[in-house]
Amino acid sequence: MKAMNHLQGYLRSDGRKGIRNVVAVAYLVECAHHVAREIALPWREHEVHAIGFPGCYPNPYAERMMEQLCTHPNVGAVLLVSLGCESFNKYALERVVHASGRPVKTIVIQGTGGTRASIKEGRAWVEEQRIALDAAETVPMQVSELVIGTVCGGSDGTSGITGNPAAGRAFDQLIAEGASCIFEETGELIGCEHIMAARAITPELGLELEKSVAKAARYYATLGYGSFAAGNAAGGLSTIEEKSMGAYAKSGASPISGLLKPGDVPPRGGLYLLDVVPDGEVRFGFPNINDNAEIAELIACGAHCVLFVTGRGSVVGSAISPVVKICANPETYRRMSDDMDVDAGRILEGKAGLDEVGTEIRNLVVSLAQGGRTKSEELGHQEFILTYKSFEPLGPACLPAA
């Protein structure tokens, strides 16, 4: 099936290739959010996505996230929308985007003359970019150039039996083809840390993996809640350990090549754990206030697409990169099939095996670089959220193969 592997991408100056050619309209404080959203509105179905950071006060994590998102391979041009008085370093962000070779412009609402004038100026610029990007040529791309993330949300008792292990099988296939795959949610690996550490390519990395889960356990213990929502219990999951065992299955069976933090791009193909729990004292609240916070972090690590396994039935997509929704629960699939790309619940009903659904997911990922679109893209889902966090840089043991 050679034809299955003819991928096309947009070549960027850093050598990475995008499977989308999005204009990102980025607000740099909540006060500029409305203007950014209004600028993007006429192109809601034509690859103009609003992203941004709501905070008025500086945060190095958020600034790095915005830099990585604005220079993501799926992004072709960037419009920054500033109110004017916020702390976000718009000059630094504009310099980074400019240095990446992408068209970039900053609108300062207070300088432009308010809402109406800013929307008008922004739309005129986006119009020009859209015309140029729509005419852009693509180049051949290999499966090995793909970065794929995975997340689960709205998990229930079916997630760890059907959808998550099927996503794990897809990861194993993609990694065998040279791709980079990223799993995350250290707060949902509590109880799995030792079996996971045994899969690390070096003992030192194994120690780092265990430390990342211990950090998550401590963080959640301080907050008083696990990474566990009421719907998880309604769906048959009784404890965080049980949810963890199911979530862990998303990682497949490949060796673990490294530990990343939000915004770190995998240095080569292989399987990586993304640590999304902040370092240091507990600050700024929950590490992952909802699924989209984690999806944005996976995308900031360069993910071209994200596999999202759901049992209860999530409907979200994301700005910048497509989200593939894998429904673990056959009852949920029947109720919400318009939102679901993959019916993994049929494994529970004995109608398909894990390998078969894993291959289906792998093929769906590849099809996204061949003109295919996900259900959430078709439905216009472009959720995005970014909040305050703080991280220390990666230690030397985290990327042994780099």
CB of 328 to other proteins, least distance (A): 9
Q: Do residues 73 and 10 make contact, with C-beta atoms less than 8 angstroms apart?
A: yes
Q: Which two tokens stand for residue 114?
A: 């308010």
Which CB, 232 or 257, lies closer to other proteins?
232
Which CB, 173 or 318, lies closer to other proteins?
173
CB of 317 to other proteins, least distance (A): 24
3-state helix, strand, coil in the chain (%, to 5): 40, 15, 40
CB of 154 to other proteins, least distance (A): 13
User: Pairing state of beta strands 305-310 and 180-183?
Assistant: unpaired
Cα 279 to chain centroid, rounded: 20
CB of 284 to other proteins, least distance (A): 19
Which stretches of the chain bind other proteins, using CB under 8 A? 156-158, 160-162, 164-165, 168, 190-192, 195, 199, 217, 220-221, 224-226, 228-230, 232-236, 238-242, 245-246, 248-249, 253, 311, 329-331, 335, 347-351, 353-354
Using CA atoms, how far apart are residues 376 and 55, in angstroms rounded to an integer?
27
Q: What letter represents residue 48's amino acid? A: V
CB of 279 to other proteins, least distance (A): 20
Which CB, 259 or 328, lies closer to other proteins?
328
CB of 194 to other proteins, least distance (A): 10
Q: Which residues contact 91 (CB under 8 A, 6 or more apart)?
A: none
Which CB, 254 or 370, lies closer to other proteins?
254
Q: Which residues contact 286 (CB under 8 A, 6 or more apart)?
A: 223
Using CA atoms, how far apart are residues 302 and 321, in angstroms rounded to an integer?
9
Q: Which residues contact 111 (CB under 8 A, 6 or more apart)?
A: 84
Which CB, 88 or 248, lies closer to other proteins?
248
Which CB, 87 or 238, lies closer to other proteins?
238
